Structure 1
C-alpha cells in the first residue's frame, strides 16, 4: 500500500525553513539555525569519531556550527565539515587523555564498544552507565 500524496499547503515548508537565532558562548556571537534540526545522537549517547581514535559521551548539541571562527578555520579546508549540521559537545577520551571535544555529526558514528567512558566530568551531569548510555541526573532535566 502506498502513502497517499498530501499537498503541501505551505505550512510544512515554512516549518522546515524557519530559522531561529540564539547566543553561542563558544562563538561569542549570535548564531542562526533552523528552528527544527535533526540530530542523530542524543544527550547521554556514546559515540565514536569516524577518523580519529576517540570516543565520548554527548553532553550538549548545537543545531549548526556554533564555535569560534578561529576554531573552524584551524581545520584543514579539505577536511572542514559543513556548518549546517548538528555539532556535538562530548566528554571524550582516547588512550592518553580525557578532554572535551566539539564534533560535527558527519564525523560521528555509534560506538561499537558498548562499554562506559572514563571521563572525570561525567558524574557532574550524568548518572551511572546503564543499558549502553548515560542518563542525565534528575537535577539536569527540565
Structure 2
C-alpha cells in the first residue's frame, strides 16, 4: 500500500487554481471520501483522481465550504486573513501566514 502525503495542512491559506478563490483548509482526507453521485455531479474541471488527498476549505468572503482535490490547489502568497462565518469553529487566531487550530478533546 502506497503512503500518501498531503501537500497542504490544516490552517494553511490556499488558492484554487481553476476557480480563482482563496480559502483556508480546515480538514484533509487522504483520498476522496464523498459519494460517487457527488463526484460525478461536482467534479468537472481538472480531472482529479479519487486517490489523491482532498481538502475541506472555507472559501474567503463567500460563506461556502468547498471539497477540493489537491491538484487544484496551490499555496496562497497573501498574508491577508480569510473572512468566513465558520472560522471560529475551527481556529483560534491568525498569525500572518496560517491559522492556529482550535484544540478539541475527542
Q: Give TM-score scaled by structure 1 length.
A: 0.68
Larger Rg: 1
- Asked whether 1:108 is paired with 2:73, we answer yes
Residue number in structure 1 paired with 2:13: 46
Cα shift readout 1:90-127 (whole Å, capped 9, x = no counterpart): 11125xx2210000000000002221000010111101
Q: Give TM-score scaled by structure 2 length.
A: 0.89
Consecutive aligned runs of 4 or more in structure 1 exceeding 2 Å deviation = none
Residue number in structure 2 paired with 1:11: none
User: How far did residue 80 of structure 1 move?
Assistant: 2.7
- Asked whether 1:98 is paired with 2:67, we answer no
Gap runs ≥5 in structure 1:
1-16, 18-33
For residues 83 and 46 of structure 2, what CA distance do their matches in structure 1 show? 28
For residues 46 and 109 of structure 1, what CA distance do their matches in structure 2 show? 9
- Asked whether 1:127 is paired with 2:92, we answer yes
Residue number in structure 2 paired with 1:13: none
For residues 93 and 52 of structure 2, what CA distance do their matches in structure 1 show? 30
For residues 46 and 26 of structure 2, what CA distance do their matches in structure 1 show? 24
